[in-house]
C-alpha cells in the first residue's frame, strides 16, 4: 500500500475537489454518479426517440436545475450518448446570443459549427460528415444507376455502414466534380422543391470537392463570404443583403438542413444552455421565435433548454408567451440532487480520479477511517446538489491534509476562473468561431468600471446601432489633467471586402471629424485580412487609418482566447457557476469591478497594447 | 379519532386560529371566532350559538404542550406555551400597546408579574423605554432585538419536551403548518422561495431555520442554493444559510407529510 505521505502529496497537487464547474460539455468530464440525474436523462432519450419516430409532432423540452445541480454534466452525458444510443442523434450545444438582430444567423452558425466539429477523442469525422457521406452515397448510386455503371454503384454501396469514409475517397475524376454537383443539385431539388438551391449547391461542393470544404463551411455558417470565395463556390454575393434578409436566409438554410436531416440523417437536438444570459425583451422574443421555429416548424430539430430554476420562476415563466412556456411545460423536468448514497459515491469517484493508480486501504481514503462522522454530518441533508457535495468534500480534504483552508478573494477566484477558460478555449478554439458581439462584450467589460488607480478610465461607452455588419463602440478616454479624448472601437469579424472597408472607413471618419480622437480597429485573426493585390484598396484605407493615428489589434490564436474567455466568464457568472467556499456565488458586479486588474499584466499582450495606446496622451 | 390524531388535530386548529389572530394569546371567545364550522364540529362543539368556555376547554383536551390556558380578569385565555418574556417581546413588537399602562390593560399578566418581566427585559437590553411628553412610559424593542426577532413569533416546536408522543405530534403539526405555508405561496411551482414561506409563517427566525434543517435532514424537502444577486437584500436575509455557510434560496417538497 502506498504510504500516507505519498497519498497526501498526490492529493495536495491533484485535488480532485478543486473544480466544481462542469465547463464545456463537449470536452471530457468527471465520471457519472450511478443514478444521479437518470430520470431526466432517460426521459430526454425517450423524447428524442419519439421525435425520430414522429417528426411532425411539435416538441420542445426544458430542464430546471439550480446552479451546481449538474445541468452541464447532463448535457455532456447526452452528447456522449448521441452516437451510441439506440436512436442516434446529432447535437448542437448553444450558448446564448448577444445580438438579438442576428439571432437566427447565430443559431445557424453555431449549429453548423457544432455539426462540423469532431468531438470524440480521436474521431476523424464530424456529425456533418455523416450527413454529407449519406447524401454522397445516395447520389452516387443514383448517378451510377442512370449511367449503368455497376462498378461505381457497388463501390458506393460498400460505404453504407460508414458513410463519412466516402468523403475522403476519389470516386470521380476532377473534371467530373462540377457535373456531379450539378446532377446532385437537380436530383435533390426535384425530390424536394422546398430546399434552398444555393444551400444544396454549396453542400454538394462540400461533399464532392475536398478543396472547397473550408469555403463551403463558412458560407453554410451564414457568413458574408468574400467575392473571391463567392466566385469559387459559384454563389451570389450576400454583402448587399440587409440584416433582416440575412436573418431570413439563415432560417431558410436551417429549414433545408432540417429537410436533409429528416431524409438522410438523424434528429438534431439543440441544447440551449446558460439562458440566464438573455436579459432584454428583444433577446427573449428572439429566443421564443427560435423555439417556435425549431419545435413547431421543423421536423428533425428539437430544442432542449436548460434554465436555472430561480430564473425560470422569476423571469422566464413570466416573460415567455403562452406558446413558449406551454411547449416547455409539456416536457419540463427538474434535476434532483444527490441522495446520501450518491453523495458518497460522488466523493468516491472523484477520489478515484486522483488516486486511480494508488493502492489504498479504503476507496474513501483519506476520509475513511477517521473522518466518517464529520463527512456524514456534512452530508446529512437527504438531497444535496453535486457542487455542494464537492465543496464540502474539498473543505474536509483540506482539514485531513492539514492544509489551510483555501480562502481566496473574489479577485483571485476570478483570475483563476479566467485562466481556466482561456486554457479551455485555446484547446478547443474552433468551438468559438469569430464573433464580434462577444469581442465587443469583452471590450466593454474591460474598459468600463475601471477603478481610479488605473492611468485611464473610459466613460460614456455607447454602441452605435445601425445596419453596419461591424460593431462600433465609442467612449471618452479620461487621463489625469487632460481633456476627455473621444475614442472609437471598430470590432470586425467580416470576411467580405466591402464590409471590412466600411469598418475602416468608419474609423477614418471618426478620426477626421475629431482631430484629437483615437480609434482602434479590432479584428479576430481568423478572419482573413488579405494583403495587396487582392485587397489593395482596403490596405490603402488601413494605411490612411494608421496615418491618422488609429491603431489595429489583430487577435491571433494566442490572444483572441483571452477575449472570448472574458465573455465566457461573464456567461458563467450570470449562470451562477463561479463560486467558492467562504465567498459564495460570485456576482457579476465583482467581475465588472475586477476585470481590468485580472487581465492586466504581461500575460495578455493584446490588452497591454490597448492600455498603452489609450493611456498615452499622444495619438 | 385516536388520541395521537386528536392531539395533532387540536394542534392544527389552534395553529390556524393563532395565525389568523396574529397574537400569541387569545380569549376562548376569540378562539371560537377564529375557527370554522367544520373545525368546531370535529372538535365536538356546537356549530353556532353561545358556546360555554368550559365546553371549549374540554374540547381542547388534551391541550398540546405548545399551548397553555390561563385566567386573567375574569376571562380564560389560550396562550402559546413560551416564557412570559417571549410573549411580551412578541406583543411589544406588534406595537398594539405602546405605553406601560396600555400593556397592563391588555396583556394577560398580573401587574406585579408584568413589572418583573418588563424590568428583566430592560436589564437585558431586549426592550428599551422612554418617557413621552405626557410622562407616560413608552416601551419598544431595542434596535438589536428588532433585527434579531424579525419577524417574531414562536412556533409550536419551541416547547419543553416531556412526552415523546405529544412531542412527535407537535412536530408533525409544525410540519403540516410548514407544508400549508409552502402550498400557500408556491402557486403550483416546484421551486418555492424560502423567503416567501418564512414571511407567510411569521415564525421566529431561528425556529424557522431549525424546522427547515429538520425537513432537509428527514427528506421532506430539498433546498436549493441559488444566486443571491437576483434577490433584494431583505429577501436574502429571509432565505436560509446553513451551518456550513451555504445559502439556500428555494425549496422543493419531496415527501408526503
Residues of chain A in contact with residue B228, where contact means CB-CB under 8 angstroms, are 584-585, 587
Shortest alpha-carbon distance between residue B195 and chain A (Å): 13
* B188 touches A at CB < 8 Å: no
The average pLDDT across A499-507 equals 95
Chain B residues within an 8 Å CB radius of A380: 217
Which pLDDT does position A537 carry in this prediction?
95
Minimal Cβ distance to B225: which of A66, A581, A587: A66
Are B227 and A308 an interchain contact pair (Cβ–Cβ within 8 Å)? yes
Is the pLDDT confidence value at A411 over 80? yes
User: Is B250 within 8 Å of A66 when comparing Cβ atoms?
Assistant: yes
Domain covering B164-253, topology: Arc Repressor Mutant, subunit A (1.10.10)
Stronger pLDDT, A403 or A213, i.e. the higher one: A213
Q: What is the 3-state secondary structure (H, E, C) of A100-146?
A: HHHHHHHHHHHHHHHHCCCCCCCCCCCHHHHHHHHHHHHHHHHHHHH
CB–CB contact A383 B222 (8 Å): yes
Using CA atoms, how far apart are residues A179 and A186, in angstroms rounded to an integer? 11
Q: Which residue on chain B is closest to A381 by alpha carbon?
A: B217
pLDDT, position A376 = 93
A62 backbone dihedrals φ, ψ, rounded to 5° = -135, 145
Chain A partners within 8 Å of B214 (Cβ): none
Least Cα separation, residue A331 to chain B (angstroms)? 14
Interface test with A, best of B222, B236, B242 (most A CBs within 10 A): B222
Q: Determine the number of helices (DSSP H) and then strands (DSSP E) in chain A.
A: 25, 12
- Smallest Cα distance from B230 to chain A, Å: 8
Domain A38-123+266-334 belongs to what topology?
Rossmann fold (3.40.50)
Q: Render pLDDT for A444-483 as a digit per residue (tens, 0 to 9).
A: 999 987 877 888 889 999 988 667 788 999 999 998 888 8
Question: What CA–CA distance (Å, rounded) separates A237 from A65?
Answer: 45
Q: Which among A382, A581, A588 has the least Cβ separation from residue B229? A: A588
Average pLDDT, integer, range A234-245: 92
Note the pLDDT of residue B155.
46
DSSP state of B61: P
Question: pLDDT averaged over chain A?
Answer: 89
Distance, in Å, from the CA atom of A260 to the CA atom of A130, rounded to the nearest integer, reads: 12
Q: What percent of chain A has pLDDT over 90?
A: 59
Spatial neighbors of A182 by CB under 8 A, at least 6 apart, are none
The ipTM (two decimal places) reads: 0.82
Location of C-alpha cell 430526454? A44
Nearest to A256 by CA among A311, A194, A314, A211: A194
Q: Is the CB of residue A491 less than 8 Å from the CB of residue A473? A: yes
Please say whether the beta carbons of B225 and B248 come within 8 A.
yes
- Closest chain B residue to A388, measured at CA: B246
Same fold for the pair B1-81 and B164-253? yes
Q: Do A388 and B249 touch (CB under 8 A)?
A: no
d(CA A585, CA A310): 14
Q: How confident is residue A169, by pLDDT bands cut at 50, 70 and 90?
A: confident
List of chain A residues whose C-beta atoms are within 8 Å of the C-beta of residue B226? 66-67, 308-310, 576
Backbone angles phi, psi at B99, to 5 degrees: -100, 165
Please state whether the peptide bond connecting residue A369 to the residue before it is cis, i.e. omega within 30 degrees of 0.
yes
Using the beta-carbon criterion (under 8 Å), do A310 and B218 form an inter-chain contact? no
The class level of CATH for A430-615 reads: alpha beta
| Residues on chain B touching A392 (C-beta within 8 angstroms) | 244
Of the pLDDT bands very low, low, confident and very high (cuts 50, 70, 90), residue A261 is very high
Cα–Cα distances in Å, from A60 out to A44, A66, A322, A379, B164?
10, 20, 14, 35, 51
> Shortest CB distance from A582 goes to which of B222, B227, B245?
B245
**Which of A310, A391, A584 comes nearest B230 by C-beta?**
A310
| pLDDT over 90 (residue A538) | yes
Mutation to test the A interface, candidates B193, B218, B226, most A Cβ within 10 Å: B226
* CB atoms A381 and B247 under 8 Å: no
At A24, list the grid cell: 464545456
Q: What nine digits make up the cell of A273?
A: 444552455
Listed residue (A375, A421, A371) closest to A572, CA to CA: A421
Whole-number Cα distances in Å, A447 to A178, A212, A264, A459: 51, 40, 49, 8
Q: Does the domain at residues B83-149 carry the CATH identifier 1.10.287.1080?
A: no
pLDDT given for residue A596 in this prediction? 82
**Burial grade of A100 (CB within 10 A; 0-12, 13-18, 19 or more):** middle
Instruction: Check CB contact under 8 Å for A310 and B226.
Output: yes
**Length in residues, chain A:** 619
| φ and ψ of B79, to 5 deg | -135, 145
Chain B closest-CA separation from residue A336 CA (Å)? 8
Phi, psi of A536 (to 5 degrees): -60, -50
- Partners of residue A582 in chain B, C-beta under 8 Å: 245
SS3 A391: helix
pLDDT level of residue A495 (50, 70, 90 thresholds): very high
d(CA B241, CA A573): 21
CA distance B24 to A526: 72
Q: How far apart are CA B90 and CA A407, in angstroms?
A: 40
pLDDT at A287 over 50: yes
Q: Which three cell numbers stand for residue B27?
A: 380569549
pLDDT at A119 > cutoff 90: no
pLDDT digits (tens, 9 = 90+) for A174-206: 777 888 899 999 999 999 999 999 999 999 999
Contact A473, A462 (CB under 8 A): yes
Domain ranges for chain A:
4-15+340-400, 38-123+266-334, 127-230, 430-615
Q: How far is A64 from chain B (nearest CA, A)?
A: 9
Give mean pLDDT, residues A377-392: 93
Q: A581: distance to nearest CA of chain B, Å?
A: 8
**What residues pair up with A270 in beta bridges, in sequence order?**
A92, A303
Separation CA B240–CA B205 (nearest Å)? 9
* B236 at A interface, C-beta within 8 A: no
Nearest CA in chain A to B187: A313
Position A600 scores a pLDDT of 65
Residues of A in contact with B246 (CB under 8 A): 388, 391
pLDDT-based confidence at residue A18 (cuts at 50, 70, 90) = confident
Q: Find, in chain B, the residue whose alpha carbon is nearest to that of A395.
A: B244
Across the interface, whether the CB atoms of B224 and A334 are under 8 A apart is answered no
Q: Where are the domains of chain B?
A: 1-81, 83-149, 164-253
| Inter-chain touch A392–B193, beta carbons under 8 Å | no
Check CB contact under 8 Å for B230 and A314. yes
Crossing angle of helices B205-217 and B194-201, in 10° steps, is: 130
> How far is the C-alpha of A416 from the C-alpha of A424, rounded, in Å?
12
Q: Name every chain A residue with its beta carbon within 8 A of the beta carbon of B245.
A: 581-582, 584
For residue A312, the chain B residue with the least C-alpha distance is B191
Interface of A to B at Cβ within 8 Å reads: 64, 66-69, 308-314, 317, 334, 336-337, 378, 380-383, 385, 387-388, 391-392, 395, 576, 581-582, 584-585, 587-589
More confident residue, A95 or A13: A95
Asked if A585 lies within 8 A of B225 by C-beta distance, the reply is yes
> pLDDT per position in chain B (257 positions), as tens?
666 667 777 877 888 788 777 788 888 888 888 888 888 888 888 877 778 888 888 888 888 777 888 888 888 899 887 788 888 888 887 776 678 888 888 888 888 888 988 888 888 888 888 887 777 788 888 777 766 655 544 444 444 445 677 778 888 899 999 999 999 999 888 899 999 999 999 999 999 999 999 999 999 999 998 888 788 889 999 999 998 888 999 999 998 88
User: Which of B189, B227, B245 is nearest residue A576 as measured by Cβ atoms?
Assistant: B227
Assess B58–A contact: CB distance below 8 Å, yes or no: no
CATH C-level class of B1-81 = mainly alpha
With contacts defined as CB-CB under 8 Å, which chain B residues touch A383? 216, 219, 222, 254
CA A167/CA A164 separation, integer angstroms: 6
| Chain B residues inside the 8 Å CB shell of A585 | 225, 227-229, 247
Q: Looking at residue A22, what is its pLDDT?
A: 64
Question: Which three-class secondary structure state does DSSP give residue A204?
Answer: helix
Using CB atoms and an 8 Å cut-off, which of residues 205-224 of chain B contact chain A? 216-219, 222-224
Point out the residue among B191, B216, B217 whose CB comes nearest to the CB of A313.
Answer: B191
Amino acid at each position: 500500500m502506498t504510504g500516507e505521505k505519498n497519498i497526501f502529496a498526490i492529493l495536495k497537487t491533484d485535488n480532485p475537489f478543486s473544480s466544481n464547474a462542469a465547463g464545456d460539455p463537449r470536452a471530457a468530464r468527471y465520471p457519472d454518479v450511478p443514478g444521479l440525474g437518470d430520470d431526466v436523462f432517460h426521459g430526454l432519450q425517450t423524447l428524442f426517440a419519439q421525435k425520430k419516430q414522429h417528426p411532425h409532432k411539435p416538441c420542445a423540452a426544458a430542464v430546471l436545475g439550480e446552479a451546481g445541480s449538474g445541468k452541464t454534466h447532463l448535457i455532456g452525458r447526452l452528447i456522449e450518448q448521441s452516437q451510441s444510443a439506440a436512436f442516434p442523434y446529432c447535437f448542437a450545444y448553444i450558448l446564448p446570443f448577444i445580438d438579438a438582430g442576428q439571432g437566427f444567423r447565430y443559431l445557424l452558425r453555431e449549429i453548423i459549427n457544432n455539426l462540423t466539429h469532431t468531438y470524440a477523442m480521436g474521431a476523424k469525422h464530424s456529425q456533418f460528415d455523416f450527413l454529407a457521406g449519406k447524401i454522397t452515397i445516395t447520389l452516387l448510386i443514383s448517378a451510377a444507376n442512370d449511367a449503368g455503371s455497376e462498378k461505381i454503384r457497388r463501390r458506393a454501396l460498400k460505404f453504407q455502414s460508414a458513410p463519412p469514409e466516402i468523403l475522403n475517397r476519389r470516386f470521380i475524376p476532377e473534371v467530373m466534380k462540377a457535373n456531379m454537383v450539378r446532377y446532385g443539385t437537380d436530383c435533390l431539388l426535384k425530390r424536394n422543391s422546398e430546399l434552398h438551391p444555393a444551400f444544396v449547391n454549396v453542400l454538394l461542393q462540400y461533399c464532392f470537392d475536398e478543396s472547397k470544404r473550408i469555403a463551403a463551411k463558412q458560407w453554410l455558417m451564414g457568413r458574408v463570404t468574400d467575392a473571391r470565395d463567392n466566385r469559387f463556390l459559384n454563389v451570389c454575393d450576400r454583402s448587399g443583403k440587409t440584416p433582416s434578409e440575412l436573418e431570413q436566409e439563415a432560417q431558410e438554410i436551417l429549414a433545408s438542413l432540417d429537410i436533409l436531416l429528416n431524409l438522410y440523417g438523424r434528429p438534431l437536438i439543440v441544447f440551449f444552455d446558460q439562458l440566464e444570459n438573455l436579459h432584454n425583451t428583444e433577446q427573449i422574443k428572439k429566443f421564443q421565435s427560435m423555439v417556435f421555429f425549431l419545435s413547431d416548424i421543423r421536423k428533425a430539430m428539437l430544442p432542449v433548454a436548460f434554465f436555472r430554476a430561480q430564473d425560470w420562476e422569476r423571469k422566464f415563466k413570466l416573460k415567455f408567451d403562452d406558446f413558449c412556456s406551454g411547449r416547455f411545460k409539456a416536457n419540463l423536468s427538474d434535476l434532483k440532487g444527490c441522495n446520501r448514497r450518491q453523495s458518497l459515491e460522488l466523493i468516491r469517484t472523484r477520489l478515484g480520479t486522483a488516486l486511480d493508480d494508488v493502492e489504498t486501504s479504503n476507496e474513501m481514503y483519506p476520509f475513511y477511517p477517521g473522518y466518517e462522522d464529520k463527512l456524514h454530518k456534512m452530508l446529512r441533508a437527504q438531497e444535496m446538489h453535486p457542487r455542494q457535495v464537492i465543496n464540502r468534500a474539498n473543505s474536509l480534504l483540506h482539514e485531513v491534509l492539514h492544509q489551510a483552508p483555501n480562502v481566496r478573494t473574489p479577485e483571485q477566484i476570478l483570475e483563476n476562473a479566467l485562466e481556466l477558460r482561456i486554457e479551455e478555449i485555446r484547446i478547443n478554439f474552433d468551438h468559438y468561431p469569430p464573433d464580434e458581439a462577444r469581442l465587443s462584450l469583452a471590450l466593454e467589460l474591460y474598459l468600463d468600471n475601471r477603478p481610479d488607480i488605473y492611468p485611464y478610465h473610459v466613460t460614456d461607452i455607447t454602441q452605435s446601432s445601425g445596419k453596419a455588419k461591424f460593431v462600433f463602440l465609442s467612449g471618452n478616454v479620461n487621463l489625469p489633467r487632460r481633456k476627455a479624448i473621444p475614442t472609437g472601437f471598430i470590432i470586425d469579424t467580416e470576411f467580405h471586402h466591402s464590409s471590412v472597408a466600411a469598418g475602416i472607413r468608419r474609423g477614418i471618419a471618426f478620426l477626421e471629424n475629431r482631430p484629437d480622437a483615437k480609434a482602434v480597429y479590432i479584428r479576430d485573426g481568423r478572419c482573413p485580412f488579405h494583403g495587396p493585390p487582392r485587397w489593395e484598396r482596403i490596405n490603402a484605407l488601413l494605411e490612411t487609418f494608421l496615418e491618422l493615428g488609429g491603431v489595429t489589434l489583430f487577435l491571433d490564436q494566442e490572444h483572441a482566447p483571452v477575449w472570448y474567455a472574458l465573455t465566457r466568464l461573464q456567461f458563467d457568472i450570470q449562470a451562477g457557476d463561479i463560486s467558492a467556499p467562504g465567498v459564495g456565488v460570485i456576482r457579476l458586479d465583482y467581475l465588472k469591478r475586477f476585470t481590468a486588474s485580472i487581465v492586466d499584466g504581461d500575460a495578455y499582450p493584446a490588452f497591454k497594447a490597448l492600455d498603452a495606446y489609450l493611456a498615452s496622451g499622444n495619438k | 379519532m385516536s388520541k395521537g390524531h386528536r392531539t395533532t388535530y387540536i394542534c392544527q386548529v389552534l395553529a390556524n386560529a393563532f395565525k389568523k389572530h396574529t397574537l400569541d394569546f387569545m380569549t376562548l371567545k376569540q378562539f371560537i371566532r377564529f375557527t370554522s364550522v367544520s373545525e368546531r364540529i370535529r372538535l365536538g362543539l356546537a356549530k353556532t350559538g353561545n358556546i360555554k368556555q368550559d365546553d371549549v376547554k374540554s374540547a381542547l383536551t388534551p391541550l398540546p404542550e405548545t399551548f397553555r390556558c390561563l385566567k386573567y380578569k375574569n376571562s380564560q385565555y389560550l396562550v402559546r406555551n413560551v416564557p412570559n418574556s417571549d410573549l411580551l417581546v412578541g406583543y411589544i413588537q406588534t406595537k398594539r400597546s405602546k405605553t406601560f399602562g396600555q400593556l397592563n390593560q391588555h396583556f394577560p399578566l398580573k401587574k406585579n408579574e408584568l413589572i418583573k418581566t418588563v424590568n428583566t427585559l430592560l436589564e437585558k437590553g431586549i426592550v428599551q423605554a422612554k418617557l413621552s411628553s405626557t410622562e407616560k412610559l413608552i416601551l419598544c424593542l431595542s434596535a438589536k432585538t428588532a433585527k434579531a426577532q424579525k419577524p417574531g413569533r414562536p412556533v409550536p416546536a419551541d416547547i419543553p419536551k416531556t412526552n415523546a408522543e405529544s412531542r412527535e405530534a407537535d412536530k408533525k403539526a409544525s410540519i403540516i403548518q410548514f407544508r400549508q405555508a409552502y402550498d400557500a405561496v408556491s402557486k403550483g411551482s416546484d421551486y418555492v422561495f424560502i423567503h416567501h414561506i418564512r414571511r407567510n409563517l411569521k415564525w421566529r427566525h431561528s425556529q424557522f431555520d431549525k424546522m427547515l434543517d429538520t425537513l432537509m435532514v428527514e427528506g421532506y424537502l430539498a433546498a436549493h442554493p441559488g444566486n443571491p444577486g437576483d434577490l433584494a437584500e431583505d429577501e436574502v436575509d429571509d432565505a436560509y444559510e446553513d451551518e456550513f455557510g451555504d445559502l439556500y434560496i428555494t425549496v422543493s417538497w419531496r415527501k408526503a407529510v
